[in-house]
Amino acid sequence: MRNFVLLSLLIIYSSKIKAEDIFTNQFEYLVATRISNFNLRDPHTFSPISGFGCFDITDSLNSEVNVQISTDSDGDGNLDLSFVTQYYSDQPAYLTNKSMTANLQSADCTAPQDTTTCSPTVDPLIGQLATNPLDTGSCLLPIVGTTTGYVPAIITTGAPCHSTVPQNITINLGGINLPLENYQQALRYQNGITTDQGLHLGFISEAVAETIIIPASIPVIGGQTFASLLPGGMRSCSTGDDRDIGPDGQTSGWWLYFNSESGLIEFF
């Protein structure tokens, strides 16, 4: 209870209190972050709208994901979608000055988002990640030749920051499960209770994207394959072609780039 009260006060008086006031040196809680904003930046997604032609639906898809991240639509007391990264340390400063092991997990996080606390789901582990810190320069950049110049542009992660070692994982993009090869994530941390300049990237092959069917519950694109939303994919309405070559140097598919912001949370 003491830590919950402190977290609430920290949100109100974040300009005066640092994260270290919560995450003390008593090993009460390991440091964890929860994504509060998550947006696909490249490539964009497209879908035919009956009677209107082919439309860029990236903003709509991002909005759908962020509504799930920030709201409790079914009234069960938990936010609808939560991604948590838990670090094997109780020191926030270690996010950007020590190599660590971290677990990327799904979680049950209480509503509202501003005062959320989280606990693991029944089968929480998405992937175990190793982090590399950096105090100057950039922690993670797009792979040369794999972006298209969409607006808004991809935000790269500058120091003080850390990035993770490539790992194959599956992420839930608002109900769409995406198996990503060589997934990496990075964030910038400058004290306080938030992180920014989050960058996430991973490769999905054309063959795998063809097998992913968008849930019928998702408006407009339900029932389509994920590949059909991407320029260059089979049955895509887009006239462009954003296909890339994967990490093996041979496989056709797409490098996906997401930007995020996160908040430090209590994770029980």
What pLDDT, in 10s, does the model give residues 220-250? 899 999 999 999 999 999 999 999 999 999 9
Contact 87, 260 (CB under 8 A): no
Token pair of 225 as six digits: 């394959």
pLDDT in tens, 18-52: 444 444 444 467 899 999 999 999 999 999 988 78
Q: Is pLDDT larger for residue 80 or for residue 9?
A: 80
Nearest Cα to Cα of residue 238 among 154, 170, 174, 150? 150
Q: What share of residues in the chain are helix, strand, coil (percent, to 5)? A: 15, 45, 40
- Whole-number pLDDT of residue 122: 86
Per-residue DSSP letters for 176-222? EEEEEEEEEEEEEE-SSSEEEEEEEEEEEEHHHHHHPBPPTTSTTTT
| pLDDT more than 90, % of the chain | 82
Place of tokens 């789901």: 121
Give the separation between CA 41 and CA 65, rounded to whole angstroms: 13
Q: Which residue has the tokens 């991002």?
A: 62
> How long is the chain?
268
**pLDDT score, position 26:** 42
Average the pLDDT over 141-167 and give the result. 97
Q: What is the DSSP string of 49-103?
A: ETTTEEEE-HHHHHHHHHHHHH--TT-SSB-S--EEEEES-S-GGGGTTS--EEE
- Checking if the pLDDT of 1 tops 70, the result is no
Q: Please state which of the ranges 50-54, 68-72, 152-156, 180-184 shows the lowest mean pLDDT.
A: 50-54
What pLDDT does 266 receive? Answer: 87
pLDDT on residue 23:
44
The model's pLDDT over 80-129, given as tens digits with 9 standing for 90+, comes to 999 999 999 999 999 999 999 999 999 999 999 999 999 999 888 999 99
Structure tokens at 180: 């990503």
Can you give the pTM of this predicted structure? 0.89
Average pLDDT, stretch 182-193? 95
What is the structure's pLDDT at 25?
41
pLDDT at 174: 87
Percent of the chain exceeding pLDDT 70 equals 90
Mean residue pLDDT across the chain: 90
CB 253 within 8 A of CB 203: yes
Residue 200: phi, psi to the nearest 5?
-130, 135
pLDDT at 8 over 80: no
Q: How confident is the model at residue 3 (pLDDT cuts 50, 70, 90)?
A: very low
Do residues 177 and 77 touch, judged by C-beta distance below 8 A?
A: no
- Categorize the per-residue pLDDT at 17 as very low, low, confident or very high, splitting at 50, 70 and 90: very low
Paired with 161 in beta bridges are 134, 188
